[in-house]
Structure 1
Amino acid sequence: MSDAPEQQPHRERQDNPGWRGPGWAMTTSVFGQGSENDAQRHLGRMAGVIERVRSATFMLDGDGVIREYRLNAEELLGWQRTEMIGKPFHAMFRGEDFAAADRMVQAVQSGDDARGALGAVTPKGASVPVDVHLMGLRDGEGHVVVFGYANSAEDLVRITRDRAVLDSLFEQFPVGIVVYDERGRYVRLNRALERINGLPVSEHIGKRVREVLPGLDPRLEEIPDEVLRTGIPVVDEQYGGFTPASDEERVWSVSYNRLHGPEGEVIGLSGLILDVTDRHRAAAAAAGARRRLALVNKAGSRMGTALDVERTARELADVAVPDFADAIVIEIKEEVFDERIGPVGPVWLAPVRRRRVLVHQGFGAVPDPVRAEGFSAWSTDSDISDRMLDGAAWHSSAGISAVAKEPIRSVDGTLLWQPTGGDSILVPLWAREALLGVVHFHRHPESPPFEPEDIEVAEEITTRAAVSMDNGRLYYRERTTALMLQRALLPQRIPSLPGVQVAYRYLPGSVGAEVGGDWFDVIQLSGARVALVVGDVMGVGVRAAGIMGQFRTAARTLAGLDLSPAQVLHQLDELGASLSENHLATCIYAVYDPATGKLAVSRAGHPPPLLLAPDGTVGGLDVPPSPPLGVGGGAYRSWVFETKEFDIPDRSRLAFYTDGMVEDKGRDIDEGIGVMAALLANCPPDSLEECCDAVTDVLGITGDTSDDATLLLAQVQSIPPDRKAHWQLDAHPSAVSDARRKVRTKLVDWDMSSLSDTAELLVSELVTNAQRYGRSPVSLDMLKTDRLLVEVGDALDVVPQVRRAQETDEGGRGLQLVNQLATRWGTRTTGNGKIVWFELATGEGGLGQREDSRG
């Protein structure tokens, strides 16, 4: 070690707070009372504090001899501890720094701290610039212990530069930066946070958050305390509140991280604070937009699921509460539910008294609208009613109580709605120039008020509801009209018919489906025969009901001509094809003759009838199929409608039906026919009405189906032989008197002598006409039912016509007598000629005793 030139060290007085160089956390003087052990502990702690800088720490005795040489000194200077212990302090440096090193020791012995820039020497002779600090500690006996450290000057320069950069960033960074001590008090904060809080730095230091900013969310103080306690960092935690920097509520994002000392002890907390109010508002606006869009989508998917005004009102209430409003009041004018009036006019007939009100406040199931008592408050307020008439919404932050002073009560006095404060939006229920009512959306005072965008949402979902309600109203009117038309066209009463008992059920589709074109008929024919007709026009609504009426009228007209079932269907087919629009229909036409017990049937695209025999067996009648009515040529021109005859046992039951009875979404037609057959087999034997109920109940035909359903049951009974008479008359003038005698005798046998005079007179005329204008053979038939039926037949198929005889004519008055005296009369052709027939009601035989409905 060489001698060093004299160098004057920098001296620091005892009252100096200490050198606060860059990178230091603690550099105050330690000169004071203590022991060497105290110095050892302090020296070790200082080594930890300054470990970010390459340093050599050591301890000297009062004479400047090295007594302790730490490991970090070996690492910086290269000398082993054993090589340095016992050497003078200046031996660590270049020769030219010996004097300066000795003066530093002397300064400490005098009670001062010493600092100097010296050049340390390594074992290889290299020079290491260091910054040296010496500090003294005096024990109770006055002995001085000196400890010191030598920092790498290169590291200090680097740290000083880094510190300058960090300080610059700390002050210029636009994000608020804060450092708290271990008790959560402000230690340091930057200018950005000063601007955020609206208070100078000096008013923060040494205080906790709530002491500085009492208007903030309490969580802002709880969060850093939790991080200090657990050490778990917090990232992007948001909170809101008020600061002196702004009169409006702001939102901040905070991130905290716990700070630790050299030995792992908690020394504080660092935090980043960013004003995210604009971001929060944008996110809230976006969330609100998404929420409103979801509400509109929900309204589109859940409202208008049925053409029903009340159901749509319930759906609107379910959509709006609680997602959009705390409560909803829907007022619908009573005229909307009145099927007898025309379209609702464009005028809000103020004041509105007759109305139905639905109130839903978010708890329980959505109720049905009920009739309310008293005037509608918003219809009596001119400002609101004017806006309603203009189709515009009305918004009040004071709530509807600002206008509606009286509660809404039902007609029985039940309280439905008590006006309260809060926020309210009134929207008119406008649809197709018709004001149907008004909807009131309400939020309670403790809920967020409606925003301008919410008014648009209220108008949108209300408009959708109004259109759905109006669709339901118009549909209900059209359906009611079609149903009234259809029922008016169906048989109003079924006459008492010989040999046939009937029962029927006609059930229109549900409210969600339009009226279809089902029809049925029971027609009294000549010769005690009965026509049973069931049909179904393809289509729905008033148009289908009208077409059904045309088919039914035509079928009755054709039945009066005594055409065969196949001929009737052929004519109906031509009718369907000739309509302005091609309308298809299915139909089954059957004629039962109680005199023979035979059933003649033809069908056009219709399900076959079912037969329940007296022994309880059920089966379908094998009637040849044909295309539906209205095809009228084309690929089916060569198709011929066929009539098939069946012998029907007495007391059998026949079932005629439309596809609505046996076909449904969950059941195909074959399965439905099988179910119906099983039901018929188990029907009550004594009541056709109970049998109809049993079939419709089990098949689920309750008026809530998607299609009309028609069921016609007929129980048949042939006429016994003792109530029938048949004769072949000779082609001789005496045949007329012979016919009168036979009629008179048979009427006595049947206890119907009161009809004898009229019956003999009419038989004389018909037999005379048959012999004079017809062709042999001539026949005479008599049937006793609830009336007398007489038929005269001959082999000529030319039908006689009633004509007005002149005064000079000797004949031509026979059919006039029949027309005047018979209850009913008519003619029909057969395969072997024609038949002229008449009926006389029991106990009635005089002039003018004819029924109103003649075939």
Structure 2
Amino acid sequence: MAAESAGHAGHADGPDAVRLALLTSADEDMTGIDALTLAVQQATAALGGLGGVAHRRDPGTGLLRLVAVCGLTSKTAEPWVTVRDENAGPARAVREAAYVWQPEGGTGTGAAGTASVPLTGPDGPVGALSVLTVGPGEPDRGRQAFLHSVAAWAAHRLATLSEPVTGPPPPGILLDMGDGFLAVDEDWRITVANREAERLLGVDHLPGRVLWGLPASRTGGLEGHCRRAVAEGTAIDHDLRWPTDQRLYRVRLAPVKGSGMAISFADVTDRRLASAGNTAEERRSVERTARMGELTVALAEAVTSRDVVRAVARHVLPPFGADGLVVEALDGGRVRVVDSVGYSEEFLRRLDGIPLDANAAVADVLGTRTPKFVESPGEFVRLYPDQRSLAVTSAKGAWAFLPLVASGRATGCCVVTFARPRSFSAEDRTLLTALSGLVAQALERARLYDAESARARGLQRGLLPRELPSLAGVSAAARYLPAGRGDEVGGDWYDVIPLSADRVALVIGDVMGHGITEAATMGRLRTAVRTLADLELDPDELLTHLNELVGELGHDYYATCLYAVFDPVTRSCSFALAGHPPPLVVHPDGTVHTPDLPVNPPLGAAEPPFDVLELTLPEECLLVLCTDGLVESPTRDIDRGLTLLRQTVASAVAGAPYFSADGAERLDELCDVVVSTLIPDREQTTDDAALLVARTRCTPPQDIASCSLPEDPRAAGQAREYVRRQLAVWGLDDLVMTTELLVSELVGNVVRHAKGPIRLRLMRSRSLICEVYDGSLTTPRIRRAGHTDEGGRGLHLVAAVSDRWGTRFLGDGKCIWAEQDIPVADGPRPESARTP
């Protein structure tokens, strides 16, 4: 080897000779990885290449594994981590033990080609050194000779080193390797690990942990093999079936002189399957065993009963050649279908809910707790003649009835069916019997989850509005979508709350976390919001009270919330946000924009006061409010989600008349479009989501009338006169008498107990609204008047005459308001007073 190195060096001159001299003078204590890295660097520089790589041949798998790299980014080097293509340059160089030129086309890097030479050991090539060139063509003979010289030096150095050629891959590549890799120091403390190693060992962050402190590390004698490799100072390869996924791994344990050990895990399951046995039956047997191992993992991860059935169908039916599956549960003496594969709805309806004693096959299996294997329709009819029609309808040729027994009691039956008659070997029966035990335990756990989840979601649905009100100023539609998968329900909610003077409060929120506790907390917050909204509080004041409520629940309770109040008279909308996604405002021309709203921290973490922004909306618009579960997912951040929401809404509004006369009826369609676009696969979602779309309308000016009144006893008379004139204009003569009484009492109270300025405002909407404004913050209240008292009965009269009344406090005074329902007269109502 040394002679070969010297021979090639003799052809080098100029810079190449200097590079070879640098290699020759390298420190004798240099590790194998450092030697390879230095060789790759010099070869890349000499050929003016884009970058270079060095691979070692894995004795166990025969694959080339990347051990050194130069000049390539992590993404560019990723295709070179493991060379699986037998026609790739490095693979050919090892196989042919010769220089190989691979023209551009296979690297995906934009290089002109790849020049590869073998790293030749005493018994033949042990790896390859490659340079990704950027020149116009193949390197000339001089460059090829230099590449051979560098490879010969590297191979000679590797042959004289006592430690194996193993070490951590270059930074950046390590995380994306398909094989598991970790390095430990001399105290068995993990120093480096990639994502695959973390998956195998079941820990998200491995560096710093002691290897033997992890339960998974005690698998299959791994510790003993590791200590043996250290004691002998040599690399050890052995096969290990991993218990969590039942896959077969080739484990390489390579001590690194003075620094610990490198451990790699290569999945060789498919390779072993391809070479297992010479007969098809042997291969099927190995495949079935592997499938059962995979099934164990899938059942452990299954959450719902449906997940359990789908896992069995995916991992059991193919290797056994089955085409049908029915999982049935015993419920109050009847057999209920949990889920199925390969059967028609009509057949399942016949089967579902029949008494156990009418289903002889299932009753037989559950009574004896022993599997029953029926190999033909004729045998089925002989065993269970009363179920002949059921066997014919199923159109199956063979059946495996497997009892499901959990916690010592029979809970149901798993039926695996086949299209044609068949026999069941001893191995078939053993595997299917083992299957029944796995399914029984998984199904029992899943049914408990289903029941708990159903209760939680029932609670959540009961706490959300059954239907949203259609108001004079706002029509709305909403959607709530529970998570498709995950452990428990969430705490998203929404509401539309009517306020005085046709104003409307819109609220949407999200209690952080999942579970019944969070759903109950959501209900408490929704009730609190409705109570506080009835007090006519401003958005910032309402969120302040809500923040105190969340803080009292505990330090680990948080919630986001958006609260808005829309006034159809002034077209103003006041927004306050606590850690919540902003709303969208959609104009009639289709323009969609996101207001630049100040966002305060979530409730429970915020420090009042809360910021409020007041916007003037167009005469009609759409407000789109949502929780983060709609726009954010594991594969999409919230900013991308909000952008997609804007684009979806803009496209939908451009294609449908949401601002037409019947536009309010189309809001449900818009909700469906948004949900189907942003959450196309609900089964894969891990968070619940809420969407609220509101169409706002302003109050026509002709339906509003107001006047100022003097601060003396004449005010009541002037108010009555104003009422008579205005109600005559509106055609509401039937309400003149009661309205005169209302304004007389309200204005009289201001004159006697408050201060001016005094103003009267009348609004014609779905009801007649009378409002009296004054400059006092004194709260009016109904008091009990004695028989001889001359006053104190005014508000009693207001309450008796009106349908609703209350007080709204303003910055410089208050407003006392009263509403009367407008009688529905024969013939059409005035256009502005109709229900939209």
TM-score (norm 2): 0.57
Whether 2:363 is the aligned partner of 1:387: answer no
What residue is the counterpart of 1:309 in the other structure? 305
Q: 1:799–1:828: 8 Å Cα contact kept in structure 2?
A: no
Letter in 2 for 1:297: G
Partner residue in 2 for 1:296: 292
1:600 counterpart SS class: strand
Query: 2: distance between equivalents of 1:761 and 1:458?
Result: 85
- 1:309–1:572 Cα change, 3 Å: same
State how far apart, in whole Å, the 1-side matches of 2:748 and 2:406 are. Answer: 75
Distance 1:548 1:411 in 2: 48
1:109-128 CA distances to partner (integer Å, 9 max, x unpaired)? xxxxxxxxxxxxxxxxxxxx
Alignment of 1:307-706 (within 5 A): 307-321=303-317, 323=319, 325=320, 332-333=327-328, 349=333, 355=337, 370-373=348-351, 375-381=358-364, 384-388=365-369, 404-406=383-385, 414-417=393-396, 427-432=402-407, 435-439=410-414, 449-450=425-426, 457-510=431-484, 514-579=488-553, 582-631=556-605, 636-637=606-607, 639-682=608-651, 683=653, 684-686=656-658, 687=663, 688-689=666-667, 690-700=669-679, 703-704=682-683, 705-706=685-686
Displacement of 1:355: 4.9
Q: What is the match of residue 737 of structure 1? A: 717
Q: Separation in 2 of the partners of 1:496 and 1:442?
A: 54
Structure 2 counterpart SS, 1:652: strand
Structure 2 residue identity aligned to 1:315: A
CA contact (8 A) 2:303 2:446 kept: yes
- Other-structure match for 1:767: 747
Aligned partner letter, 2:637? D
Residue identity opposite 2:426 in structure 1: F
Contact kept, 8 Å, 1:329 with 1:358, in 2: the verdict is yes
Q: Write the distance in 2 (CA, Å) between the matches of 1:578 and 1:629.
A: 11
Deviation at 1:599, TM superposition (A): 0.6
**What amino acid does structure 2 have at the position aligned with 1:664?**
S
Give the structure 1 partner of residue 52 of structure 2.
none
- Which among 784, 792, 796 is matched to residue 816 of structure 1? 796
Q: Larger Cα Rg: Structure 1 or Structure 2?
A: 1
| 1:564 and 1:643 in contact (8 A); partners too | no
Q: 1:721 to 1:310 in 2, by over 3 A?
A: closer
Q: For the residues of structure 1 that align with 2:408 and 2:743, how far apart are their CA atoms? A: 71
Work out the CA distance in 2 between the residues paired with 1:680 and 1:402.
60
TM-superposed CA distance for 1:523, in Å, is 0.6
Q: Distance in 1 between matches of 2:347 and 2:436?
A: 16
Q: Is residue 698 of structure 2 the alignment partner of residue 718 of structure 1?
A: yes
Residue 475 of structure 1 and its aligned partner are, at CA, apart by 2.8
Q: Is the CA contact 1:599–1:648 (under 8 Å) kept in the aligned structure 2? A: yes
SS at match of 1:370: helix
RMSD between aligned residues: 3.8
User: 3-state SS of the aligned residue for 1:666?
Assistant: coil
The offset of 1:746, in angstroms, is 1.2
Partner of 1:259: none
1:13-35 deviations in whole A, cap 9, x for unaligned? xxxxxxxxxxxxxxxxxxxxxxx
TM-superposed CA distance for 1:619, in Å, is 1.1
SS of the aligned residue for 2:694 comes to strand
d(CA) in 1 for partners of 2:381, 2:741: 92
What is the CA distance between 1:525 and its match in structure 2?
0.6
CA distance in structure 2 between the partners assigned to 1:524 and 1:610 by the alignment: 21
Q: Which runs of 5+ in 1 are unaligned?
A: 1-280, 336-343, 846-855
Structure 2: how far apart are the matches of 1:740 and 1:766?
11
Say whether the 8 Å CA contact 2:381–2:388 is kept in structure 1. Answer: no
What is the CA distance between 1:703 and its match in structure 2? 4.6
Describe the superposition over 1:771-808 as per-residue Cα deviations: whole angstroms up to 9, x where unpaired: 11112222211112121111112222121111221211
| 2:763 equivalent to 1:783 | yes
Q: Is the 8 A contact 2:497 2:504 kept in 1?
A: yes
Closer, same or farther: CA 740–674 of 1 in aligned 2, 3 Å: same
After superposition, residues 89-168 of structure 1 pair within 5 angstroms as: none
Q: Which runs of 5+ in 2 are unaligned?
A: 1-276, 826-836
Task: Find the residue that maps to 2:468 and give its secondary structure.
Answer: coil
In the superposition, the TM-score normalised over structure 1's length comes to: 0.56
Provide the residue aligned with 1:211 in structure 2.
none
- % identical equivalent positions: 37
Name the amino acid aligned to 1:685.
Answer: P
Which residue identity is paired with 1:668? D
* 2-structure distance, mates of 1:753, 1:445: 86
In 2, the alpha carbon distance for the partners of 1:765 and 1:455 equals 90
1:839 aligns with 2:808: no
Per-residue CA deviation, residues 351-377 of structure 1 (Å, 9 max, x unaligned), is x665579587xxxx9999934547333
Amino acid of the residue matched to residue 801 of structure 1? R
Partner of 2:99 in structure 1?
Answer: none
Report the CA distance shift for 1:406/1:621 in structure 2 as closer, same or farther (over 3 A).
same
Letter in 2 for 1:698: T
Equivalent-residue separation in structure 1 for 2:385 and 2:284 (angstroms)? 34
Q: Deviations over 1:592-639 (max 9, x none)?
A: 1112111111011101111122333221112211111122xxxx43x5
Mapped partners of 1:356, 1:406: distance in 2: 25
In 2, Cα distance between the equivalents of 1:285 and 1:505?
53
- The offset of 1:482, in angstroms, is 2.6
SS in 2 for 1:641: coil
Question: Is 2:723–2:736's contact at 8 Å kept on the other side of the alignment?
Answer: yes
Cα distance in 2 between the residues matched to 1:672 and 1:727: 49
CA contact (8 A) 2:564 2:573 kept: yes
Which whole-Å CA distance do the structure 2 matches of 1:331 and 1:733 have between them? 84
What is the rounded CA distance, in whole Å, between the counterparts of 1:818 and 1:367 in structure 2? 62
From the superposition, tell whether residues 607 and 356 of structure 1 become closer, same or farther in structure 2 (CA, over 3 Å): closer
Check 1:591–1:367 CA distance in 2 against 1; reply closer, same or farther (3 A cut).
Answer: closer
- The alpha-carbon distance between structure 1 residues 368 and 429, as it changes in their structure 2 partners (threshold 3 A), is farther
Moved more, 824-833 or 482-491: 482-491
User: 1:725 and 1:460 mapped to 2: Cα distance?
Assistant: 81
Contact persistence 2:470–2:476 (CA under 8 A): no
Describe the superposition over 1:568-610 as per-residue Cα deviations: whole angstroms up to 9, x where unpaired: 1111111112125732211100001112111111011101111
**Which amino acid counterpart does residue 449 of structure 1 have in structure 2?**
S
Give the aligned residue type for 2:348: V
Paired amino acid for 1:695: V
CA distance in 1, matches of 2:511, 2:812: 36
Secondary structure (helix, strand or coil) at the match of 1:566 reads helix
Give distance in 1, aligned partners of 2:502 and 2:397.
71
3-state DSSP of counterpart to 2:368:
helix
1:588·1:603 contact (CA, 8 Å) conserved in 2?
Answer: yes
Mapped contact 2:366–2:413 kept (Cα < 8 A): no
Going from structure 1 to structure 2, the CA distance change for 1:313 and 1:844 (only over 3 Å counts) comes to: closer
Separation in 2 of the partners of 1:410 and 1:306?
34
